[in-house]
Amino acid sequence: MSHSGDLSRPPVMNKIAVAGGTGLVGRMVVDEVRRAGGTPVVIARSVGVDLVTGDGLAAALDGVDAVIDVSNVETMGAKRSIAFFEAATGHLLTAGAAAGVRHHVALSIVGCDRVDLPYYLGKRRQEELVAAGPLPWTVLRATQFHEFAGQVIDRSPRPLALGLRMRTQPIAAREVAVELVAAAVDRPAGLLPDLAGPRPEAMDAMVRRVLRARGSRRLVVPVPMVGRAGRQTKAGGLLPGAGATLGRETFDAWLARA
């Protein structure tokens, strides 16, 4: 039987661009694309492509079948977050449509639609643009990575570490990368079920445990989540919704191998 025109099969995806392919989860997505037999194309300023200005993007997307967007801006502020995700997503969608990209996959965050953290306003804008954009799309919302505790430490002012009082259900970034690549080679699916780890954890405890594992003497400053976002978080706003896909690796198991 010939498979041409067989709608039950997803199209073959060979060349997959990874926007933010040098970042924490981005490097793992690049590995997974290779493991799945595809050819990854890294998009990042360090390889000469700027998503905010669009410089170098047309050339980078030449011949690309699907884009996985895991780019990021390091900010807690709404203005910078919205500006980054609006510009980066806008350029990726416009250049993607011009290059004939068949599938745009974006990584978002569980609860970004429920919890009014300033950074999340940028993620909401990203999701809106993708859903209203010119390309067939998939959005995967994941919870905080197990690695997020380390990112919080590395971005805290020395000799402190911010112990965010926040309940989450973290997941290994590697498992997120696997799901993103599976989504990219499958048919565009719109908003996927939430992706989370196997069980809830307290972020401040995760920070303390990563510090202990690193042999670090940084002082953990408890940082309660205050105001409306605090109330939304306490109400479980960052926990996965019904029907979520759950990863297998616990924070304990991840820490033991990290």
Ligand X SMILES: NC(=O)c1ccc[n+]([C@@H]2O[C@H](COP(=O)([O-])OP(=O)(O)OC[C@H]3O[C@@H](n4cnc5c(N)ncnc54)[C@H](OP(=O)(O)O)[C@@H]3O)[C@@H](O)[C@H]2O)c1
- The reply on whether position 55 binds ligand X by CB under 6 A is no
- The reply on whether position 45 binds ligand X by CB under 6 A is yes
Contact with ligand X (CB under 6 A): which of 44, 61, 152, 180?
A: 44
- The reply on whether position 89 binds ligand X by CB under 6 A is no
Q: Which stretch binds ligand X (CB under 6 A): 4-12, 19-27, 127-135, 228-236?
A: 19-27
Q: Which stretch binds ligand X (CB under 6 A): 38-46, 204-212, 215-223, 231-239?
A: 38-46
- The reply on whether position 61 binds ligand X by CB under 6 A is no
Does residue 112 contact residue 123 with C-beta atoms inside 8 Å? yes
Residue 50 or 186: the one with the smaller Cβ distance to ligand X is 50
- The reply on whether position 72 binds ligand X by CB under 6 A is yes
Residues 2, 83: Cα–Cα separation, whole Å: 47
> Residue 180 to residues 36, 93, 139, 140, 226: CA-CA distances in angstroms?
12, 18, 9, 7, 32
Residues 125, 134: Cα–Cα separation, whole Å: 15
Helical spans, DSSP H, in 103-202:
118-132, 148-154, 173-185
Contact with ligand X (CB under 6 A): which of 17, 70, 139, 161?
A: 70
Sign of the dihedral defined by the CA atoms of residues 199, 203, 208, 213, in that order? positive
Residue 111 zone, left/alpha/beta (φ > 0; ψ -120 to 50; rest): left
User: Is the N-terminal amide bond of 159 cis, ω within 30° of 0?
Assistant: yes
Q: Which stretch binds ligand X (CB under 6 A): 45-53, 156-164, 225-233, 240-248?
A: 45-53
Contact with ligand X (CB under 6 A): which of 16, 101, 139, 142?
A: 142
Q: Which stretch binds ligand X (CB under 6 A): 41-49, 155-163, 235-243, 250-258?
A: 41-49
Q: Which stretch binds ligand X (CB under 6 A): 30-38, 128-136, 141-149, 224-232?
A: 141-149
- The reply on whether position 232 binds ligand X by CB under 6 A is no
- The reply on whether position 26 binds ligand X by CB under 6 A is yes
Tokens of 30: 């690049």
CB of 120 to ligand X, least distance (A): 9
- Which letter does DSSP use for residue 140 in this model? E
- The reply on whether position 197 binds ligand X by CB under 6 A is no
Residue 11 or 241: the one with the smaller Cβ distance to ligand X is 241
CB of 13 to ligand X, least distance (A): 20
Burial label for 7, CB within 10 Å (0-12, 13-18, 19+), is exposed
Does residue 183 contact residue 138 with C-beta atoms inside 8 Å? yes
* Residue ranges of E strands in the chain: 15-19, 39-43, 66-69, 103-109, 137-142, 160-165, 167-168, 190-191, 195-196, 201-202, 219-224, 245-246
Q: Which positions touch ligand X (CB under 6 A)?
A: 20-26, 43-46, 49-52, 70-74, 107, 109, 123, 142, 144-145, 148, 151
